Amino acid sequence: MATFELYRRSTIGMCLTETLDEMVQSGTLSPELAIQSMTEALESQVKTKVTIKGHLHTYRFCDNVWTFILQDAMFKSEDRQENVSQVKIVACDSKLLTQ
């Protein structure tokens, strides 16, 4: 039951983590289960496609995790576009998760 702790850093993940931390005193639920549910739900729910363009400042591949740091990147979604001066992209190998 391997899940990516990747999503723990997302807003939803961190909120959950904080909530779990607060709930520790009153009895802990299984964090793994909660996070796994979050991951599965996330994977099945998101349906948007995004295009990213930018200047790659840094790339890193370590333990099957790609980390890119982009500068002056443009994220183009279906109906909107975002521009950022600097963004970090952390990506795990999807093949590992589906093993």
Partner 1 sequence: MATTTTTSGVYIHVIEDVVSKVREEFVNNGGPGESVLSELQGIWETKMMQAGVLSGPIERSSAQRPTPGGPLTHDLNVPYEGTEEYETPTAEMLFPPTPMQTPLPTPLPGTADNSSMYNIPTGSSDYPTPGTENGSHVDVKARPSPYMQPPSPWTNPRLDVNVAYVDGRDEPERGNPNQHFTQGLFVPSTGKRKRDDSSAQYQNGGSIPQQDGASDALPMATLVGDTLCITFVGDKRVPRDFICSSSKIPQVDGPMPDPYDEMLSTPNMYSYQGPSEDFNEGRTPAPNEIQTSTPVTAQTDVIEDDEELLNEDDDDDELDDLESGEDMNTQHLVLAQFDKVTRTKSRWKCNLKDGIMHINDKDILFNKALGEFEF
Interface residues for partner 1 in 15-54 (CB under 8 A)? 15-20, 22-23, 26-30, 32-34, 37-38, 40-43, 45-54
Least CB distance to partner 1 at residue 8 (A): 8
Binding residues among 59-88 for partner 1 as defined by CB under 8 A? 59-70, 75, 77, 79, 82, 84, 86-88
Least CB distance to partner 1 at residue 31 (A): 10
Q: What angle do CA 42, 44, 47 make, to 5 degrees?
A: 90
Number of residues forming the site for partner 1 (CB under 8 A): 77
Least CB distance to partner 1 at residue 92 (A): 5
Least CB distance to partner 1 at residue 15 (A): 4
Q: Which residues contact 8 (CB under 8 A, 6 or more apart)?
A: 14, 16, 17, 35
Helix axes 31-45, 11-23, angle to 10 degrees: 160
Is residue 28 within 8 Å of 19, Cβ to Cβ? no
- Nearest Cα residue to 92 out of 66, 68, 69: 66
